[in-house]
Amino acid sequence: MPILIPKALQGLYFLCEPIADGSFGKLYLAIHALTRQQVAIKIIDKRKLGGEAFRVRGEIEALKRLSHPNIYSLYHVIETDTTFYLILEYVPGGELFDYILHHGSLREPHARLLFRQLVSAVGYSHSKGIAHRDLKPNSDNTYLDTYCGSLAYAAPEVIANREYSGPAADIWSMGVILYAILCGCLPFDPSRPEKLPKLIAHFILVQKGQYVIDESLSKSSRCLISKMLCVDPEERITMSELCKHPWVMEDWGSPIDLLVDNKQVIFLK
């Protein structure tokens, strides 16, 4: 069935197929009418945003400030009375979430390669004064083990609704992601306390920092995860320390350079 092209995009882009569907809009693979370049177009319905339109504008301003091999580029923005159209770099290869679902846990060398790219991108963003605050291995509304969405990756201080440091919260979220790619599951599983509602159980586990880790993983990887999933944000490993942690440097021999450490940019598929 042909996709109806919105008036604002007519003559500029052809919509090919939907990539993802979220609460506020959809993401499409598209082709530029003149250059035939593939792009991704995020179409966001303002009417569904309510008072959250400022978040979209914040995302736009952040993307304008960032230029990094592991962060997709924002090419253009079209705004109408009812809709935002974000013309983005199309990045093939799928999502990390889907890769984990299909392949399970990754061997440490492969996990390290992916994780170094994540750290490089997030650390670069921090150097520009931008914290992500919603890191997870997918970009839409699905998530590993469907109990609480982005909360599965949120730091204790975020869940507790306390004042928090964005960079420190990102470190926690990256720790959850590293755990997931090494273990094939999430660290804080609320299904164990059977008598408690899942969200309450999740809250308790996170606040206590209670998780079980596979002892077959290297001591260095387990040490790194424990430093990232430290409940006290003041004691949590910093980005600078993370970039030169022994596990991160293994097989590479050097810390992560937030500006140039992208000689190997790999796709998942």
What residues does CATH 3.30.200.20 cover in the chain?
Answer: 7-89
Is 170 catalytic? The answer is no
Rounded distance, CA 242 to CA 227, Å?
Answer: 9
Rounded distance, CA 110 to CA 116, Å?
Answer: 10
Identify the CATH number of the domain defined by range 7-89.
3.30.200.20
The pTM (predicted TM-score) of the whole model is 0.81
Rounded distance, CA 225 to CA 173, Å?
Answer: 11
Reported as a single tens digit per residue, the pLDDT across 126-154 is 988 888 766 656 554 332 333 334 778 88
Residue 254 pLDDT > 60, yes or no? yes
Q: Give the confidence band of 200 by pLDDT, cuts at 50, 70, 90.
A: low
Residue 195 pLDDT > 50, yes or no? no
pLDDT computed for residue 268 by the predictor: 35
Dihedral (C-alpha) 182, 186, 188, 192: value to the nearest 10 degrees?
A: -110
Residue 234 pLDDT > 90, yes or no? yes
What residues does CATH 1.10.510.10 cover in the chain?
Answer: 96-249
Rounded distance, CA 54 to CA 139, Å?
Answer: 19
Q: Choosing from 134, 145, 257, 261, which is the catalytic residue?
A: 134
Query: 189 has which bridge partners?
Result: none
Q: Which CATH class is domain 96-249?
A: mainly alpha
